[in-house]
Amino acid sequence: MNRIGRIYSSIVFQNISIIIAAGILNILFGENGWKPDAVISQFIDPIYRYVLPLMLAYTGGKMFGGHSGGIVANLAMIGLIMASNMPMIIGAIMFSPLIGMLTAWMERRTQDYIPIGSELLVANLIDAMLGIGLMLAGYYMVGPLMNDVLKHINNGLVMLVGSAWLPFLSLIIEPGKVMFLNNLINHGIVAPFGIQQARELGKSVIFLVEANPGPGFGILLAYMMTSSKEEKPSLRGTAGIQLFGGIHEVYFPYILMKPALFIAVIAGGFAGISFFQLFDVGLVSAASPGSILLILFLAPQKDILLILAGIGISAVVSCIIAHFILVRSYVKRSVAPMESLTLPLAEKNERPRIVVLDEQPSPLSTIQHVTISCDGGMASSAMGAAILRRKMKEAGLPNIGIEHRSIDDIPIGTDLIIIQNHLKKRMNQTHQSIPIIGLNSLSNMHEYDDIVYFIKNRNQPILRKDLFE
């Protein structure tokens, strides 16, 4: 189930710019936008009805069937789109991976029977015929069924949004976020249903359920209030990254270090959702990343102040409860939980240690391409890549290739993988020949000093693989 969620999350994430583009058009030129324009607003419906489902279908099909899988999924999606009067966004996410798998299976089954010299012709004909068959099946069989399912989903969402149960989602969402399932929750669950509802109602409170930065910001405020003078600057920087940068992962370690703070973050989320629901506010599109700036930009004009107030209320509630818990705690805290676990090696007077998964003595001496990876391939890994680029430039190594990817999308040619410790086991299973460094936090600048030291001093002996395990 977790893998299915990650697949759906990856499909949506790779097309999030289309979703935001539709939201921007809606917020600027839609019926209730800043400057309503009947001509420009005509582009919004085709984006939701055609562009987004087709791009989602291509992405999902390509993940499992390559380019051919994407093409066949696109053709099949036309049948679903034409059979329904509702945007087939959820249908595209659900069926495109299956179509990609079917396309890949067909290619494997037929490749031994294709005459030499006619491979390209036959392969294209097979893809075309398969696409047509799935298109017709979608139009006459699957499409009408999906149309009924989507109507029931929409009715269920309307009931949920108007019921007293909506705030209780914080009992699942807030702990799930802290356990690094935030990308799966946002892009795999929240975004598809939120898009469907926003298309019908013009906005959706569902988009605010996970993206609300208030609960996490309240946790960081509580730490600032109970920290020493020396600790406050680092906490202020972390809070700014979380609130304005939208990288929520930076506050997760603070809760994991003190699990009682789960109560505070859940209460903050509950208060925020209750406020949003009470005043019937929402966003026109998914806010990714969950920056307060992007959230306010994607809010209808009349909802901006109310959404800001809701974020503030959730932060205050979270902060008050967290402050009470921290004051009563006798556990000594440091400015950053990750720094207390992994100090710069220069301070420890130790040599850097790296995970090497094979017995070869050469990988670290030829590091030219570094991939920083997290579950979704965004947010914390993007921030980590930016930190490492800056540190490598300062160290006189600006030509090392550094990029951020999801754990399932490590590019060929990667010489070194940097990943969060809790994902290291999954990475070890699929990339056993590539050196891997597991960090406690991809957003902790000090942990990258070790990596820079290693790459700059590439002739240092490679240590055993069990040193980081």
What are 252-293's pLDDT values in tens digits?
Answer: 888 988 899 999 999 999 999 999 999 999 999 888 888 999
pLDDT of residue 456: 76
- State pLDDT tens for residues 144-182: 898 888 888 778 877 888 888 999 999 999 998 887 777
- Judged against a pLDDT cut of 50, whether residue 356 lies above it is answered with no
- What's the whole-number mean pLDDT along residues 190-207? 84
Percent of all residues in the chain with a pLDDT value above 70, rounded to a whole number = 88
- Judged against a pLDDT cut of 70, whether residue 39 lies above it is answered with yes
Q: Which residues are designated catalytic?
A: 374
- Judged against a pLDDT cut of 50, whether residue 347 lies above it is answered with no
- What's the whole-number mean pLDDT along residues 342-349? 39
Residue 51's pLDDT band, with cuts at 50, 70 and 90, is very high
Q: How far apart are CA 198 and CA 320, in angstroms?
A: 33
- Judged against a pLDDT cut of 70, whether residue 350 lies above it is answered with no
**Domains of the chain in sequence order:** 2-161 (no CATH), 178-340 (no CATH), 342-468 (3.40.50.2300)
Query: Which residue in this structure is represented by tokens 């002996």?
Result: 461
Looking at the DSSP bridge assignments, the partners of residue 371 are: 403, 417
Q: How far apart are CA 308 and CA 232, in angstroms?
A: 25
- Which two three-digit tokens encode residue 440? 């406690």
Please state, rounded to an integer, the average pLDDT across all residues of the chain: 83
Query: Which residue in this structure is represented by tokens 């004909």?
Result: 125
DSSP letter, residue 204: B
Q: Say which range, 157-161, 385-389, 400-404, has the weakest mean pLDDT.
A: 157-161
Residue 398's pLDDT band, with cuts at 50, 70 and 90, is confident
Residue 365's pLDDT band, with cuts at 50, 70 and 90, is low
- What's the whole-number mean pLDDT along residues 326-350? 49
pLDDT of residue 119: 80
- Judged against a pLDDT cut of 60, whether residue 61 lies above it is answered with yes
The crossing angle, in degrees rounded to 10, of helices 52-83 and 143-161 is 110
- Judged against a pLDDT cut of 90, whether residue 120 lies above it is answered with no
**Range list of β-strands (E), 1-109:** none
- State pLDDT tens for residues 7-37: 888 888 889 899 889 889 988 998 878 888 9
Q: How far apart are CA 48 and CA 30, in angstroms?
A: 14
Cβ neighbours for 397, distance < 8 A, ≥ 6 positions apart: 452, 455, 456
52 or 441: whose pLDDT is higher?
52
Percent of all residues in the chain with a pLDDT value above 90, rounded to a whole number = 37
Cβ neighbours for 337, distance < 8 A, ≥ 6 positions apart: 253, 254, 256, 257, 440, 441
Query: Which residue in this structure is represented by tokens 């179509």?
Result: 99
